[in-house]
Amino acid sequence: MNVPRDGALHPGPDLAPAAAGRDVPDAGDEQALVERARTGHDDAFEELVRRYRNDVFSLAYRYVHNREEAWDLSQDVFVKAHRSLRRFRGDAKFKTWLLRITANHSKDFLKKRRLDTVPYNDALEAPGAASVAGPDRAYEAQELGQLIQAALDTLSHKHRTAFVLREFEGLSYEEMAGVMGCSVGTVMSRLHHARRKLRNRLTRMGVAQGAHDE
């Protein structure tokens, strides 16, 4: 992905969306890259894009369930980040800042159109997901996935974000707080309510047992 000075993003030949990377860059190295990018060194911003493009794509995909739309959202996120670099104060990690932009941009996107339902087997084949062996198991996984996705879509944005960041993206409570712009205590509360609401919804769907309606 090349980032010229006009802020436009262009996919490079190696830029097929992939699974979210879990390697944590050296903090000092990252800060140096951010500072270089802020002073107009596009090669530094390209490196930041390379490091975090998969995390951004993965989170966007969890919201829209469509590869092309998630890719477009990822492009938009990096354009916004490139244009807003001078306002990045470094109070949070650069990755946290990016995911916050991603979550907010995805929320705005979903406000503009009704989310189309897509087969959950596509979500299972999202970057980093293991394929399901056998047609019977594939069908069962697809059916279950559709029910889970339908339940997730009934949650409020703040509760769904908490659940996705924790269960799908594997972020720590501190990282979640940075992305969501709230305290760790608020994160834990939202996650608790998200899990309870999701469990209740799945129970009503006949998927889970032992939950009680609120």
Give the model confidence (pLDDT) of 19-72 as tens digits: 444 444 454 588 889 999 988 888 999 999 999 999 999 999 988 888 999 999
Q: What percent of the chain has pLDDT over 90?
A: 28
Please give the model's pTM, rounded to 2 decimal places: 0.62
Position 203: which residue type? T
Query: Cβ distance 142 to 128 under 8 Å?
Result: no
Return the number of other C-beta atoms located less than 10 Å from residue 199's C-beta.
17
**Domains with residue ranges and CATH for the chain:** 15-19+25-115 (1.10.1740.10)
Paired tokens of 182? 């709230």
Report which DSSP code applies to 87: G
**Cα–Cα distance measured from residue 197 to residue 211, given in angstroms and rounded to the nearest whole number:** 9
pLDDT at 208: 62
